[in-house]
Amino acid sequence: MKKRTSLFDQLHKEKTNSYLKKPDIPLEDASQLLDKSFLREELNIPSPGELDVVRHYTNLSKLNFCVDTHFYPLGSCTMKYNPKVTEHILECEEITHLHPYQNQADVQGALEILYEVEKFLCAITGMTRFSLAPCAGAHGELTGMLLVSAYHRARKDKRRRRVIVPDSSHGTNPASARMCGYEVVVAESNAQGLLDYDKLRELVDDEIAALMLTNPNTLGLFEEEILKVSELVHERGGLLYYDGANFNALLGITTPAQMGFDVVHLNLHKTFGTPHGGGGPGAGVVGVKESLHPFVPVPMVDKKNGYYYLNYDLPHSIGKVRSFYGNFLVLVKAYAYILRLGTEGIKRVAQHAVLNANYLRDKLKDTYDLVSSKPSMHEVVFSCARQKEKGVSALDISKRLIDYGIHPPTMYFPLIVKEALMIEPTETESKETLDHFISVMKKIAQEIEEDPELLKNAPHRGSVGRVDEVAAARNPVLKWTQEEVT
């Protein structure tokens, strides 16, 4: 592929460094203070004009898809609109000037926010404590499984070596269980895409530490037998872990506690409108029922006589899982999001998310194959097996969507669906956007009949053409280096 010449390629030879301020410390003193190996005679920093810099970064920003520019129906990721007012709130000095080492008496307001976020999340999930420290869903899972492990250890229950995950589970579930030393057992789904209860029953014994479950599951279906499953696992002394990545479908309608879950993680960057931000920072907060309180990570924010403080005095805690107190700014955004919506608004989020997914499902069900006759919740999974017979894959369809200015849905996941496209419109999309997407998906189906080659080479209008994804993963070029200039 042709290498893009960057601003830095063009201008790296100019070395005037006019952007750099003169140092406050005389250079001779600085060189006394620093180890010689850190000192350079010459600093190779380009000095382009402001306009060139503005154009460079503006053009770079336009190469990317984002929720603010394009429809982004990436299933399971819940790419909802991130309200700008929550970004605006973070600009106030009381927040931007905080430092994590400040005296607790001086940051009572910040601690109060954390305290209240925890209370809100407890009310929304039915859990009774939340650690705000984990900074991603996967990090929450790891924390949650460490809690499970600490719980069984405290009970001197040493038999429990296994964790069950369904075959539709997100890859982070088995990985997190494995990282905590557990053996992973896979539970099969039935033909409708739900957990097969009879097969599960054969797997649940006294050696099961936990069952990790996403509900609605990754096919966007509600696990109808969740109460029976909960009873089965608990009867044998195991715990039920809730992967809350799909909680957007159930906000304000039911709670993981009512479904029988003991440990929960929520992805604030999915469900609570905070940005995914190119891989971070996120927040994968972890909630627990009372039986797991003693083990929660330190510090927790507690309150005594009206004074908020960071409580490190938890002798059975699994310890720290993150520096300081989690991604504070993300937590403030989630706080603002919850406050703005209120009890009724929170519920409407779920209702509209489910309505939007079912609208797409109904309008596209004759064009692409549905994988289950069970009603969809917040996302709908289609199989492109029919299109594959014409030689066009789910990947080709996804790439063609880029030509129409739509971000590809999640593809080839869940693994149990052939040629899967997992579409999650979220509640923040308008009917016009959904109608546009439906018409594009139908047009693509027509193109498959008439000109399949068009799809195999797509995208034609993206900022790059079809990339070699294996080479990109094996040989990533992540930063500019001068040597690459040709």
Ligand X SMILES: *Cc1c(COP(=O)(O)O)cnc(C)c1O
The residue ranges that bind ligand X (CB under 6 A) are 76-77, 136-138, 170, 172, 214, 218, 243, 245, 267, 282, 284
For ligand X, the closer CB: 232 or 245: 245
Between CA 171 and CA 167 the distance in angstroms is: 10
Please list the residues that pair with 423 across neighbouring strands: 74, 380
Nearer to ligand X, 77 or 229 (CB): 77
* Closest distance to ligand X from the beta carbon of 7 (Å): 32
Instruction: State in angstroms the smallest separation of the CB of 240 from ligand X.
Output: 15
The continuous run of DSSP H or E covering 442 comes out as: helix 431-450
For 308: left if phi > 0, alpha if psi spans -120 to 50, otherwise beta; the answer is beta
- Please report, in angstroms and rounded to a whole number, the separation of the first and last CA atoms in the chain: 13
Q: How far is the CB of 254 from ligand X (least distance, A)?
A: 18
Q: How far apart are CA 232 and CA 106, in angstroms?
A: 49
Report, in Å, the least distance between residue 136 CB and ligand X: 4
* Minimum gap (Å) between residue 173 Cβ and ligand X: 7
Q: Which is nearer to ligand X, 111 or 194 (CB)?
A: 194
Query: What residue type is assigned to position 303 of the chain?
Result: K
Between helix 394-403 and helix 431-450 the angle, nearest 10°, is 120
Residue 219 or 448 having the CB closest to ligand X: 219
Q: What angle do CA 408, 280, 240 make, to 5 degrees?
A: 85
For ligand X, give the closer residue by CB, 86 or 217.
217
| Interatomic CA distance for residues 115 and 19, integer angstroms | 43
* Strand ranges of the sheet holding 208-214, from the earlier edge strand across to the other edge: 129-131, 286-288, 263-265, 239-243, 208-214, 162-166, 183-187
Residue 213: strand, helix, or coil = strand
Write down the H helix ranges in 158-221: 172-179, 197-203
Shorter beta-carbon distance to ligand X: residue 46 or 284: 284
Question: Shortest approach of ligand X to residue 212 CB, angstroms?
Answer: 9
Report the number of secondary-structure helices (H) and strands (E) in the chain: 17, 13
Q: How far is the CB of 76 from ligand X (least distance, A)?
A: 3
- The residue number whose beta carbon is nearest to ligand X equals 137
Tokens at residue 157, please?
């229950």
Q: How far is the CB of 169 from ligand X (least distance, A)?
A: 7
Round to whole Å and give the CA distance between 20 and 47: 10
